[in-house]
Structure 1
Amino acid sequence: MLDPLYLFVFAGLFSPGPNVILLTASGARFGFARTLPHVLGVAAGVGVTSGLTGYGLGALLLAQPALMLMLKLAAAGWILWMAWKLARAATRPRDPGRDRPFTLVEAVLFQWVNPKVWAVAMAAAAGYGLGLAPEAEAWRLASAFSGINLFVCLFWAGAGAFAARLLVTARAWAIFLRVMAAALAVSAALVFL
C-alpha cells in the first residue's frame, strides 16, 4: 500500500513555489542539462531540511518566534533578490553565456530559507509521523522528500526547457521572465502568512 506521506509530499512539492518557479525559469534560460546541478541541489537540500525537521528542528523553530522571524526575513530577502535578477534579465538581450544557473551548493543552501519546504516538511512531520525514534523519522522524511522531489524537479526543469522552444521572440522571453519574477515576488510575500 502507498504511504500517504508520499502523496502529501508530492502534492506539496509539485505545486508552485520558489523551487518550481526557479527550476522552470532555469530550464527555459539555460536548458535541461545545465539545470541538472540545480535539480540535484534542490533534491538534496529538501531532503536534508525535511530530515532535520523530522529530527526536531521544526519544533524548535516553532517554539522560538525570533528564530522563525529571522528565517522568514532571510527567505523573503533571498526570494526578492532572485525575483529582481529574473526581472532584470527580462530587460537585456538573451545571452545564456552571461548568466549561469544555480550551482548544486547554492540550490542546497536555498532550501534552508525556502519557506515552502519548511512548511511542507513541518506539516509532514506533524501529520504523517509514525512515532518512530527521531533518527528513523528523520530518515523516513528525508528519503521521501529527496526521492519524490528529484522527479518533481526534473519535471519542472524539463517543462522550462520545453517552454523555451515556444519563446522564439525577445518579447516572448521578456514576458516569460517577468511572469516568473512576479510569481517569485508574490511567493516572497506569502512567507509572512
Structure 2
Amino acid sequence: MIPAELLLFVFAGLFSPGPNVVLLTASGARFGFTPTLPHLLGVAFGVGITAGLTGLGLGAVLLAYPQLTFALKLIAATWILWLASRLLLATRRQHAEAGHRPFTFVEAVLFQWVNPKVWAVAIAASAFVADAGPVPAALTLALTFSSLNLGVCLFWTSAGHLLGKLMASPRIWRGFMTVMAALMAASALLIFL
C-alpha cells in the first residue's frame, strides 16, 4: 500500500506551478484539449519513468556527482528558456500546418529528463520508500507519480482549454501568454537556487 504521506507530498509537488503545469495550461489554451492529449499523456508517463529511475538509485547518483547535476541544470535551463521564448511569441490557436503544434508524446516524455522540478520532487519522495528495496521503491514511485500526475495534467490542460475560450481579445491573450512565458522563465532561474 502506498503511504498517504507519499501521496500528499507527490500531489503537492506535481500540482504546484512548474514547467509541466505552465506548458500544459498554455497548450490547452492555445491548441485545445484534444490536440494536447499526447503531450499530457507523455508528461504522465515520463514523470513515472523519472520517479521510477530515482527509486532505482539514479537520484542518489545525481546527488553524488554535483558536476552531473550542474550539467543537467544547464540543459534544463536552456531548454526551459527556449520554451518560454516560444510561449512569449505564440499567437492564438496556431495550427500544425503552420509549423506550430503541442508537444508530441515522445517530446513530453523526454522533457521530464531535464525537468528539474520533477527530479527534485522524485528525489525527495524517494525518502518515503527508502526502507523498501530498489525495485519495490521504483515501482511505488513510478505508479504514484504517473497516476497522480495524470489527474494533475488533466486538470491543468482542461483549465487552459477553458481559459482559451474566455480570452476573446488579442490583448487578453497576449497578457496570458506573457504571464505563462514569465512563469516558465522563472522556473528556469529557480533551477540554480
TM category (shorter chain) comes to over 0.9
1:116 matches 2:114 = no
Residues matched between the structures, number? 190
1:25–1:177: 8 Å Cα contact kept in structure 2?
yes
The 2-side partners of 1:133 and 1:50 are apart by 15
| Aligned equivalent of 1:88 | 89
The 1-side partners of 2:140 and 2:93 are apart by 42
SS in 2 for 1:59: helix
Q: How does 1:15-30 map to 2 (within 5 A)?
A: 15-30=16-31
The 2-side partners of 1:42 and 1:93 are apart by 23
**Could you give the per-residue CA deviations for residues 121-155 of structure 1, whole angstroms, max 9, x where no partner exists?**
000002x1151110110000000000000000000
| Aligned equivalent of 1:65 | 66
1:26–1:157: 8 Å Cα contact kept in structure 2?
yes
- Tell me the CA shift for residue 172 of structure 1: 1.1
2:53–2:59: 8 Å Cα contact kept in structure 1?
yes
Identity %: 62
Q: TM-score, normalised by structure 1?
A: 0.95
Q: TM-score, normalised by structure 2?
A: 0.95
Distance 1:31 1:53, change over 3 A: same
Letter of the 1:73 partner, please give it: L
2:92–2:173: 8 Å Cα contact kept in structure 1?
no
| Aligned equivalent of 1:138 | 138
| Aligned equivalent of 1:155 | 155
Superposition RMSD on alpha carbons, in Å?
1.3
- Runs (4+) of structure 1 exceeding 2 A deviation are 92-98
Unaligned segments of structure 2, at least 5 residues:
none
- Tell me the CA shift for residue 158 of structure 1: 0.1
Letter of the 1:96 partner, please give it: H
Letter of the 1:148 partner, please give it: L
SS in 1 for 2:95: coil
